[in-house]
Amino acid sequence: MELVSQLVRLLRDLQDPHKVARFQQLCGVRGSFAGQPSLSNGSCPRQPHQERTDEADGLRGRIVESHSPQVNGTDRETSAIRQEDSSDLAKQKPRRRNSLTGEGGQEFVIDNAFLYYLFTFGTELGNELFYITFFPFFMWNIDAYVSRRLIVIWVWVMYLGQCTKDIIRWSRPPSPPVVKVEMFYNSEYSMPSTHAMSGTAIPFSLFLLTYGRWQYPFIFGLLLALCWCFLVCTSRIYMGMHSILDVIAGFLYSILIMVIFQPALEIIDNFNLTCTYAPLIIISLHLAMGLFSFTLDTWSTSRGDTAEILGTGAGIACASNLNYMLGLMPDPPVSLLPLAVPAITTGLVVKCGTRFLLGVVILLVTRAIMKAITIPLACRIFHIPCDDIRKARQRMEVELPYRYITYGTVGFTALFVVPVIFRVLNLS
């Protein structure tokens, strides 16, 4: 019993939002809201999800707000702090706002610009912009075999992570004491960190899938995976989006999923390639997973993100099947393994850059066209007013089909349509 009580205390300690705030202060992040409580060892009580969001909204106006005469020592000290904050306006960042919900947070001051940009880059390694650039680049310029298997792992890790969040329903670290440097995912629940999960699954799966297939030093691949994982995990604490416990749980959960699915990866990939009915089965399975896996008590970005992930996985799997049936993009024979890393020449860089830029433009145009078609179409089918696109996109009847179809098309385009265009233009 003593061991259990110590474990419970440790978990509560790791969930303490004041530890997140201390880490932020150590990295040079200071909230500029007035009346911020001093950091103590006591933990901040967790509040219900919606109540905490409302509290964060109420803080928006409480930013270095008073310049009136002070009457006592404490007020004079507060005034001096506020004057110091005012002198830092050059380093003060504007309020972040969630483009989907309109939710905003307090302003904050950055004392260490290097860490700010480093952790901003780290958190972007788990965002949509990274996925829509990294996966295609790897697919078109390095190894389609590795990329399609990597996406299978990514889909399962992210899907299970998002569903687990909406089952456990733990709130984000409250503000104050935490400074919300990022706001986009603030409407989601917190446990586990899916950024930490993807930041663990992608680099380590990449390492496991490429080592022995490509010629490079073992220590290089391992160190790259460790640094990538560490940067993404710590960036979520820096951004004020997760407690230490959320990040550790996300890391361990991702490792567990990888251990379970790694033996089945060969079976899944062969099924996607060779089964005649694989596209129909995959599309139906991913649709069912998105519809019946979980329900939300209040809207958040998690449902749309889940549909986006499942749609991308379905599109990639269908493209893989079609490529195999038509004899396109064949995997290199085993006799050629391990593959040697080619010499980096100007011609190679130009060709890779041209493929990447042209391909990403095609994907972005495809996404824009599909969004413009699917949102109004879903609104019309389900008789939902689309005067306010933001509200319409939050309705399940619109959000699920729009995200699933749009990103399914993007995934299919990335692995089938774009490589065909490359062949036509002699860029393969």
pLDDT in tens, 345-365: 888 899 999 999 999 999 999
Tell me the pLDDT tens digit for each residue of 390-399: 677 767 777 7
What letter would DSSP give residue 30?
E
Active site residues: 195, 242
What letter would DSSP give residue 31?
E
Choose among 53, 50, 29: nearest CA to 39: 29
Is it the case that residue 52 has pLDDT exceeding 70? no
Length of the chain: 428
Which residues, including other chains, have CB under 8 Å from residue 164's CB and lie 6 or more apart?
191, 192, 253
Choose among 245, 242, 249, 248: nearest CA to 11: 245
Query: Which residue has better confidence, 276 or 2?
Result: 276
- What is the side-by-side strand order in the sheet with 108-110? 29-31, 108-110, 92-93
Parse the chain into domains and list their residue ranges. Answer: 120-424
Q: Could you give the angle at the alpha carbon of 216 between the alpha carbons of 213 and 220, nearest 5°?
A: 125
Q: Are 134 and 414 in contact (CB under 8 A)?
A: no
Mean pLDDT of 162-182: 80
Say what the pTM is: 0.77
Instruction: Output the furthest CA–CA distance in the chain (Å, rounded).
Output: 83
Mean pLDDT of 333-337: 75
Tell me the pLDDT tens digit for each residue of 202-221: 999 999 999 888 888 999 99
Tell me the pLDDT tens digit for each residue of 222-263: 999 999 999 999 998 888 888 888 899 999 999 999 998 888
Q: Which residue has the tokens 């706001």?
A: 183
Least-confidence region, from 58-62, 74-78, 253-257, 401-405: 58-62
H or E segment at 417?
none
Structure tokens at 274: 């060779």
The Cα 222–Cα 203 span in angstroms is 9
Structure tokens at 327: 């004899």
Least-confidence region, from 166-170, 256-260, 323-327, 357-361: 166-170
Average pLDDT value over all residues in the chain: 77
Q: Name the percent of the chain lying above pLDDT 90.
A: 23
Query: Which residue has better confidence, 91 or 260?
Result: 260
Least-confidence region, from 34-48, 230-244, 255-269, 293-307: 34-48
